[in-house]
Copies of this chain bind each other. A is one copy, B any other.
Amino acid sequence: MSDRTASYEGVLDAARQIAPAAVRTPLIESPALNARVGGRVLLKAETLQVSGAFKFRGAYNRISRLSAAERASGVVAYSSGNHAQGVAAAARMMGARALIVMPSDSPAIKIEGVKALGGEVRLYDRWTESREEIGAEVARERGSVLVPPFDDPYVIEGQGTTALELLDQADGPIDQLICCCSGGGLMAGINLVLEARSPQTKSWAVEPEAYDDTARSLAAGERTGHPAGPPSICDALQTPMPGVLTFPINRRILSGALSISDNEAAGAVAYAFRVLKLVVEPGGAAALAAVLADKIETRDRTTAVILSGGNIDPGLFAEIIEGRFEAAPRQGAAA
């Protein structure tokens, strides 16, 4: 973690840094979705980013700034999967080894994705081990640089490039922007851009209902965790607490936080398949779920929605699109 504060200027610099490697993802509008909500919805499809999620932006922005000596010692990261793949992809482009510490219950497609990108995987138990400690230990042992999933200025600024593109691609003002929020890196990067470029746009964070630490933290005025709960279908959004660097930014700029159930997330995944023709993972569909489940007023407004990732196991995707998915505490749930 760096002491430097993430800034809008840093996001502009990140945009130049990642331009040769990242995908400028399309901003998609669906007349069917507009008709359903009675307003305009602009979908930023980060599902189409390198490695299937926005995470590549921050990972590349961080790793591409390492010195030759640092690259030679490799990088290490802990992640439920999307950051893992982003780091593995960026490290490979930079010729650096990557070791990724992943929960043993990560979706198989994400673990395989890291390996396919040349990353080394170390699994850990999400319920009994601390990924931060394991990551720090490996970093010490190997002399590798730790690439944090959100609490790093370069990572936050890399994620913020999503909003730079979005504002450039939109053909008019945006009333509100809705984005999933876990550690808050994407949300914070986006918020820095909105504050500087589109302060009239209200921004909202979306969390799984059992992982509502951002809502609790906003209410408390300080970083606060959530009670231990069962795993969520939104595997990418299960961080215990907002970040040290991300929360002050999000607290300053967010209009508030919304929460969605696993069934609402699954409903959004199914809608994206059936109507939008996009593959979105449950956590990546959280913001869309908030819109479809009427968690926020969209009528006669222009609403930007971030589709943050599309890495979902075929088995779960099949369950959801065939209507066989039922949200329930799953095997391995902690108390």
Q: Which residues of A contact B (CB under 8 A)?
A: 21, 23, 26, 28-32, 47-48, 50, 52, 109, 273-274, 276-280, 310, 314-315, 317-318, 321-323
Contacts and interface: CB of A to CB of B under 8 A. Distances in A.
Max chain B Cβ within 10 angstroms of own Cβ: one of A52, A274, A322, A323: A274
B279 A278 contact: yes
A26 B26 contact: yes
A276 B277 CA distance: 12
25 contacts: A21-B31, A23-B29, A23-B30, A23-B31, A26-B26, A26-B28, A31-B50, A47-B277, A48-B276, A48-B277, A48-B278, A52-B277, A273-B314, A273-B317, A274-B314, A277-B278, A277-B280, A278-B278, A278-B279, A314-B318, A314-B321, A314-B322, A314-B323, A317-B321, A318-B318
Nearest to A31: B50
Contacts of A279: 273, 277-279
Given A47-B277, A277-B52, A277-B279, A318 B310 contact: no
Contacts of A52: 277
How many copies of this chain? 2
B48 A310 contact: no
A321 B318 CA distance: 8
Nearest to A275: B52
Contacts of A321: 314, 317-318
Contacts of A21: 31
Contacts of A31: 21, 23, 50
A103 B69 CA distance: 65
Nearest to A324: B318
A202 to B, nearest CB: 26
A63 to B, nearest CB: 16
A226 to B, nearest CB: 29
